[in-house]
Amino acid sequence: GIDTDKHKYPIGSGIVTFNNVQSYSKAVRAAFIEIKTPKFKKKVQVDPYLADSLCQLCGMHLGPYFCRDENCFKYFCLSCWQLTHPVDAHGGHKPIMRNSKLRTQRTLSHVI
């Protein structure tokens, strides 16, 4: 589905429903997929739907940080994120949060 404004004009986002977990996981890990049709070819960014979830490491705190890297692919609370993603080690792992990227960067910059 393509999200539209009140005038039915596309706003640049949409929803994709997958029929199996493997396809969903592959698309989210890739982060970008190319859609090819006879009329157009478009590269789109695929982010997972982020739900309110407990940390999948400790299971005790809310896990607002999601790591899309295939070695993680889990929700983490702030403490577990810091524990498993030290600044000098997992340099390529960037958390995804339900809120805007700006908030993610601000929150992590205070931590680091």
CB-count burial class (<10 Å; 0-12, 13-18, 19+) for 48? middle
CB-count burial class (<10 Å; 0-12, 13-18, 19+) for 82? middle
Q: What is the pTM of this model?
A: 0.63
Is residue 92 within 8 Å of 101, Cβ to Cβ?
Answer: no
pLDDT tens digits, 51-65: 888 999 999 999 999
pLDDT tens digits, 68-82: 887 888 999 999 998
Distances in Å between the alpha carbon of 98 and those of 7, 36, 42, 48?
A: 26, 29, 25, 10
